[in-house]
Amino acid sequence: METNTQAALLVKMTVAAWDTQNNYFTKLIDMLSDEQMKSEIAPGRNTGVYLLGHLAAVSDAMLPLLGWGDKLFPELEEVFIKNPDKATAEKPSVAELKEKLQAVNTTLSSHIHATTLDQWLDRHMAVSHEDFAKEPHRNRLNVLISRTNHMANHIGQLLLLKQAS
């Protein structure tokens, strides 16, 4: 296999891993009732609603981090990233959060699938040109890898909202 084909294949595999987790996340929250989504994953822990809002906010924040424009729903950050679940009594409804997630995913996906190998390996917006020259792994694709694992982490928790079989 030629080496440029190798690099392209590696990017494809990494994007596929993101898609797998992200599609599974969407499928999972669609399987859960609003009642289940409002429950805590374990006694005293985060609710499904909070984790849904959290993952939507983190995906939304990937847009500016990857140089793909402004966040669509900057208001999510305060409730779902800066503050823990119990800090905010009133949260958006499950339906509203699912709609926002879908909008974020549509925008994100169009960028992800239009990004070239060289663009993936270019710096992300939170690293300076100077630091990037020394640490070339701090690129856009590494953000996608890290966000994939973050999502997998919370999917493991959301699975606890399903009825025990």
Locate 21 and state its tokens: 């987790």
Rg (alpha carbons) of the chain, rounded to whole number: 17
Q: Please pick, from the candidates 1, 89, 95, 114, the single residue that binds a second copy as defined by CB under 8 A.
A: 1
Distance CA 96, CA 53 (A): 10
Number of residues that bind a second copy (CB under 8 A): 42
The residues facing 40 across adjacent strands are 47
- How many other β-carbons are positioned within 10 Å of the β-carbon of residue 109? 14
Q: Please pick, from the candidates 27, 44, 95, 134, the single residue that binds a second copy as defined by CB under 8 A.
A: 44
Q: Considering the rule CB under 8 A, would residue 115 count as an interface residue with a second copy?
A: no
User: Least separation, in Å, of the C-beta of 35 and a second copy?
Assistant: 17
- φ, ψ for residue 49 (rounded to 5)? -60, -45
Residues 118-137 that bind a second copy (CB under 8 A): 118, 121, 136-137
Q: Which is nearer to a second copy, 23 or 93 (CB)?
A: 23
Q: Considering the rule CB under 8 A, would residue 72 count as an interface residue with a second copy?
A: no
Distance CA 105, CA 12 (A): 18
Of 6-14, 26-34, 55-63, 93-101, the window that binds a second copy (rule: CB under 8 A) is 6-14
Q: Please pick, from the candidates 13, 89, 95, 114, the single residue that binds a second copy as defined by CB under 8 A.
A: 13
Distance CA 34, CA 163 (A): 13
Q: Which is nearer to a second copy, 57 or 71 (CB)?
A: 57
Q: Please pick, from the candidates 65, 81, 103, 117, the single residue that binds a second copy as defined by CB under 8 A.
A: 117
Distance CA 49, CA 38 (A): 6
- How many other β-carbons are positioned within 10 Å of the β-carbon of residue 104? 23
Among residues 108, 126, 107, 4, the alpha carbon closest in space to that of 65 is found at 126
Q: Considering the rule CB under 8 A, would residue 142 count as an interface residue with a second copy?
A: yes
Contact residues toward a second copy (CB under 8 A) are 1-4, 6-7, 9-14, 16-17, 20-21, 41-45, 117-118, 121, 136-137, 141-142, 145-146, 148-150, 152-157, 159-160, 164
